[in-house]
Amino acid sequence: MREFSEIIKARDWENPLVTSSLSRLAAHAPLCAYPDVQSAVSKAPSPNQQSLNGSWQFQLFAKPEAVPEAFIQPHFDDADWLTIAVPSNWQLQPNVADNPIYTNIQYPFPDNPPYVPQANPTGCYRTSFVLPPAWQQRQVRINFDGVNSAFHLWCNGCWVGYAQDSRVAAEFDLTEFVQAGENRLAVMVLRWSDGSYLEDQDMWWLSGIFRDVTLLSKPQLHIADVEIQADLDAIYQNGQLVVKTRLNQNSELTKVRLQLFNGEQSLLDITHSIAQQAAVDEKGGYQDRIQQIADVPQVQPWSAEIPHLYRCVISLLDHNNKLLDCEAYDIGFRKVEIKQGQLLLNGKPLLIRGVNRHEHHPERGHALTLEDMRQDIILLKQNNFNAVRCAHYPNHPAWYELCDQYGLYVVDEANLETHGQFPMQRLSNDPSWLNAYLERVVRMVERDKNHVSIIIWSLGNESGIGNNHHAMYQWLKQRDPSRPVQYEGGGSMTAATDIICPMYARVEQDQFFAAEAVSKWAIKKAISMPGEQRPLILCEYAHAMGNSVGNFAQYWQAFRQYPRLQGGFIWDWVDQGLTKFDQEGNPYWAYGGDFGDQINDRQFCINGLLFPDRTLHPAMHEVKKAQQFFQFKLAKAEQGYELTVTSEYQFKTVKDCFLHWKLSANGFPIRFNYSGLNLPPQGSQTIRIPLDIHLLPDTLYLIDVEVVLNQTQTWAENGFSLAKQQFVLPEVIALSEPPLQPSALPHFVEDEAQLTVQQPHFQLVFDKKSGLLSSWRKNGAEQLVQPLRNNFYRAPLDNDIGTSEAHHADPNAWISRWQQSGLWSLTEKCLAFKLEPLSDCLQICVQHGYYHQEQLLLKSQWLYRITAQGELDLAVQVEVADGLPSLPRVGVELALVNSDSRVKWFGRGPHENYPDRKDAAHIGQYDLSQFELHTNYIFPSENGLRCDVRELTVAELNVTGSFNFAVSRFSQANLAEARHTCDLVAGPCLYVRLDGFHMGVGGDDSWTPSVHREYQLSQRQYHYQLNFAL
């Protein structure tokens, strides 16, 4: 037995050669030790398992050397210790003096592998359990599903073992240490270990026992591991089942019984004795492994579309057929292949609708419950995802069971990333770290090998490329030839990957980075390289940081056009914000630096499609639309239209859906109907939409179509929307304009300072010196708090900021370009103010110049036309000086007297949308509160825009034209200066921003200017018109 002092002196946590850990059992598929076959089939809780989750005693010490040796003893007095929940992360528990740290790349400690800081927070845990009497003659094991980052274990004062690799199971044999009655466990967990150098994974650095702890009792002779291969034959109809059962010791008198169930129906029941099946190994002894092979005719293949599962039960029997041990697994029959440059499942090419997912909860950190996981699964299915990449580590074991059950394709990724190394492949080429690399992929594969949802193994993330990766790849290809392997490091096209899997590669544009040895080719170019026949699936794309995910539809156009471009995984699923409270007790979501972590990468952990509480970002609507499994085409037909709907499902026949269609005029429904769908895989159906009305001129007619469920699924209710499309019908143009009716001019009074336009129900006041409309009264009540003026600014998005920091500006970032050009420090001057009464209106022409250091950068001309009936037409022309970067926006802003009135508009909605992210925002009539218009991004920024608007009503303001708008309680200055939502202070007014033009948000990534040229505002002249009803 190792003495405590010896352990402290040995510093196993600074030795990369301690890879198999110490006394940890070999990795294997999960075991339950069912007492009988019936329990195994029904998944009844096994009496041979005991959860140790719950309240443990806990104390945090500054370093392992500060831990009292006596804490391992059974009778140590821990009454004054804290009580902590297991599983949990100790940094998120009250009264624990250790902080969360977020970094993206840089290690939060000196980079000197394998050594870690002397100040190494060390959490000591203690708990007890009572050994069931029935377990006393059996083997007793303890399993830790996840501990960060390394730990030593004692039982009843005796050292049991040591483990690291925080994301795979660490299992120990307690048999020789347990006793009848009460038993005491002590666990010493270190925050930092040499394993931390391999776990630099763009997430919060959190510590502790954060996954389940379970006791397992097995008979002395038992099933030690089961490997199940459920393949399909060459025509993908019949199953080929191979089950390899490993025992913990040789016993020629025992038998292995294999049963296969489809629900409660038994499909297979075969028994083989060990003596019949055992092969002789190279030493002349019998292997403790039996292989059973069976054909299963006419199986229902598994896919994410039809996730049909069978139950496979393996029983160990003695020579009298008495059951000794029993294990069971959900399995699915499927075949994964790469043929002719495409990834195939059951012979059909896949289109990966994927996302990268970190395990994250805003209060519990990395300690997720089964319901947390189920919630994510349901949201994935509801938003048309069919795949998930476990970024960047093996997930909780229950996650894969849910993916099997609900139907998701999984990339299972080894717990390996060395992003902070320089060069990145430093450890990847170091032979002393080879076993550490191999151990991480081996333990992942051995734990997860039986999950049908896992279709790809990944060697890890962002660790460069080195000999250690090639060794991992070769081991994987030999161990499991049934699945392809992917790895992006080294340029995504190395010999260590079966799939070209770049991150953030553009569709059309190559990227060249001085720090990168290999250029990042456009995805279209990558698949056209001579001799290259691998499929391309982006391991990361569409960086969803804040107000982002522009240009997304372009990727999906390419995926559908080019067969070898087979989709990708968005970065990423959920904002990794942690709940914190300001001084007034208001909650907000914190990011890097908010816990005193001086080494941090600020909000680069806030790049999800969901907020931490799993409410949707507006961009999710765009993602769902682009990834939908139905495509629509509308064609003119006699007396109406023909709508063709095509299914993109590869395996599923669509019978559980209705297609709804609606004809509207200026957003108001005038006709609607629905049809049942009966679509074979990849099939089409045509539906007639009659058009039995007279189309009126100058009216926008729209046909909206939607596919909805007509049956409740495990992941959505009856009536849930799966796909939608909107078609704009050709407008009927009036043959001639109606003649203008002569009218009196509005009354006006002009002096040197101002111009007042006065009518019985409205009054306008223009300040002639500033040239601004400074007052608007309606029925005697003032409407304006701030004048109507040009607006060329937006509160910077994360994508505008890029990698700029307070102390370091990225010269390529949009924010730097705008600042350097002077666009953010403009001086406004009124150049001309001219009144001209016309026959039917007052015309006012105002010119403004916008200067930076006496240089004219922008010039605008506003042409007002005001009628006595209360119509104000504003024609705006803006001239832009040569050499300026793309403008953020070209529009106007005014501030209305605050009110609780709702906002109504006819345009795109209802959710926030931007010029490069608006496909999912259909044109219609919408009515929302001003609070619902605001998107509360964790890092505040420009938000809430609605595009292609024809009419807007806010309180007494009514505007028509063709424009984009945003209504907000927050000033642009407040949005720009705020760092958290709690920094936002609602002003005394309602800000209304009306844009003739608005730059896109970008989103191919967040560290290069990613707004595509067609969505930039780089013209030299802009014209738009707004019409106000006074």
Residues with catalytic roles: 462, 540
The residues pairing with 669 across neighbouring beta strands, listed in sequence order, are: 664
d(C-alpha 195, C-alpha 208), whole Å = 14
Q: How far is CA 180 from the centre of its chain?
A: 48
Amino acid at 1: M
d(C-alpha 630, C-alpha 618), whole Å = 21
In order, the DSSP letters of 963-1000 are EEEEEESS-HHHHHH-SSGGG----SEEEEEEEEEE--
In the block, tokens 């003695």 appear at 318
Ranges of H-type helices in 851-996: 930-933, 972-977
Contacts of residue 341, Cβ cutoff 8 Å, sequence gap at least 6: 527, 533, 534, 535, 563, 564
d(C-alpha 1011, C-alpha 1030), whole Å = 37
Residue 264 and residue 41 in contact, taking contact as beta carbons nearer than 8 Å: yes
What sign results for the dihedral spanned by CA atoms 68, 73, 74, 77? negative
Closest by CA to 355, choosing from 609, 168, 124, 581, is: 609
Q: Which two tokens stand for residue 1008?
A: 């290069």
Give me the phi and psi of 771, to 5 degrees please.
75, 15
Contacts of residue 24, Cβ cutoff 8 Å, sequence gap at least 6: 161, 162, 163, 170, 171, 172
Task: Quote the Cα angle for 606-611-616, to 5°.
Answer: 130
Closest by CA to 907, choosing from 967, 945, 951, is: 951
Q: Which two tokens stand for residue 468?
A: 């250690």
| Polymer length in residues for the chain | 1030
Residue 842 and residue 748 in contact, taking contact as beta carbons nearer than 8 Å: yes
Through-space distance between the first and last CA atoms of the chain, rounded to whole angstroms: 88
d(C-alpha 230, C-alpha 329), whole Å = 12
For 517, the 3-state DSSP assignment is: coil
d(C-alpha 765, C-alpha 758), whole Å = 9
Q: Which two tokens stand for residue 84?
A: 């902590």
DSSP 8-state assignment for residue 610: B
Element containing residue 129 per DSSP (H, E)? strand 122-131
Give me the phi and psi of 730, to 5 degrees please.
-55, 135
In order, the DSSP letters of 690-723 are E--SPPPTT--EEEEEEEEESS-BTTB-TT-EEE
In order, the DSSP letters of 385-421 are --EEEETTS---HHHHHHHHHHT-EEEEE-S-EETTS
In order, the DSSP letters of 89-116 are -GGGSTT-----EEESSS-SS--BTTB-
Residue 242 and residue 449 in contact, taking contact as beta carbons nearer than 8 Å: no
What sign results for the dihedral spanned by CA atoms 430, 475, 211, 200? positive
User: What are the distances in angstroms from CA 703 to CA 204, 489, 621, 668?
Assistant: 47, 47, 19, 11
What sign results for the dihedral spanned by CA atoms 555, 560, 561, 565? positive
Residue 367 and residue 211 in contact, taking contact as beta carbons nearer than 8 Å: yes
Residue 486 and residue 497 in contact, taking contact as beta carbons nearer than 8 Å: yes
DSSP 8-state assignment for residue 463: -
